[in-house]
Amino acid sequence: MDLAFVWFILLAVLWTGYFVLEGFDFGVGVLLKPLAKNEKERRVMINTIGPVWDGNEVWLLTAGGATFAAFPEWYATMFSGFYLPLLVILLALILRGVAFEYRHKRSDGNWQRNWERCIIIGSFVPALLWGVAFANLVQGVPIGADRNFTGSVLDLLSPYTLLGGLLTLGVFVTHGAVFLSLKTLGDLRHRARTFAVRTGLVTAVIAVAFIVWTAVAYSSTVWTWIVGGIVAVAFLAGLAAVARGREGWAFLFDSVAIAAFVAMLFVTLFPNVMVSSLNPEWNLTIANASATPYTLQIMSIAALVMTPVVIAYQAWTYWVFRRRLGTQHMPATDH
């Protein structure tokens, strides 16, 4: 039980890393059309995440692999019940990755615009559906006594889960706009800052509604209120910082807000990992969904060895590509 609890926390950390890092490049992708005024600015936006977007997805692969190994019952029930939305997310991520690679292969304007649309779609869909998926974990889904999902995809759609989807979409778009204001120069930087404030205010209202709904309807602990309060305060602090031109602080506060949001979901779930809407006795818990103690021991040793290496490499990547970009850095063509 002790190691299972540790891995429950570690999964929260992995999802935090994924949402913080992949979150801003989802936001950048969604903003390609609304924010950029011309082709050169779209190239600047893509280049801000070009060196890091694929590395950010490592956090998702690790979170999925860790769930499979540490909580096989959770993995099996979740992936069977959420099969269609998770497949849609996977297809969107594939489309997005292909678009990044193929967009610059030809200088033809229509070719590039079509791949840019693929980047937008491939960023929008996961940003929305991840919120729907995690809201379903908190709300509960039809799980039978045999720990199998017994519902349909329509059972995953409700006002609460759709609100969760709008929240992650809004947070990621705001996070992406803050990242662009941190990484760009000139008019694009100022437009990104203004956009971050505007979308952030709307997202803050959605966040408060989601936090209150979660705490009132689905939580049995005061910690949901406490951690939810941290989400709201950190997010508003980020908006205040970006409005004053302190983009670095704004990005930090946004990251804290996202981390607190993930923590709120996991605190609300605890000690469950999936809630049965049919019978609380059929919930999947940390205890009954975890792997054997020996498996968790081996995983812990591997994590202690490899995690610092991965984090160090990714930190080095961000350091190397830390400078701001502007349209003046873009050559006449992509070739």
* Span 116-140, pLDDT tens digits: 999 999 999 999 999 999 999 999 9
Domain contains 312: no
Which residue type sits at 263? A
Dump the DSSP string for 184-219.
B-HHHHHHHHHHHHHHHHHHHHHHHHHHHHHHHHT-
What pLDDT shows up at residue 335?
A: 42
**141 strand-pairing partners:** 276
Domain contains 186: yes
Structural contact between residues 180 and 29, judged by C-beta atoms closer than 8 angstroms: no
* Span 193-242, pLDDT tens digits: 999 999 999 999 999 999 999 999 999 899 999 999 999 999 999 999 99
> In degrees, to the nearest 5, what angle opens at C-alpha 55 toward C-alphas 251 and 307?
90
Domain contains 300: no
Model confidence at 333: pLDDT above 70: no
Number of Cβ within 10 Å of residue 8's Cβ equals 21
Domain contains 264: yes
What pLDDT shows up at residue 107?
A: 82
Domain contains 317: no
Domain contains 305: no
Nearest to 271 by CA among 5, 44, 3, 43: 5
What pLDDT shows up at residue 131?
A: 96
Domain contains 330: no
Rounded Cα distance between 62 and 184, Å, is 30
Q: Which residues contact 188 (CB under 8 A, 6 or more apart)?
A: 35, 36, 41, 44, 45, 180, 326, 327
**Domain total for the chain?**
1
Could you give the count of Cα atoms lying within 13 Å of 77 in the half-sphere of its Cβ?
29
Query: Where in the chain does DSSP place strands (E)?
Result: 272-274, 284-285
Q: How confident is the model at residue 70 (pLDDT cuts 50, 70, 90)?
A: very high
Mean predicted confidence (pLDDT) in 250-264: 96
Identify the domain containing residue 161 by its residue range: 23-292
Structural contact between residues 127 and 169, judged by C-beta atoms closer than 8 angstroms: yes
Domain contains 8: no
Model confidence at 1: pLDDT above 60: no
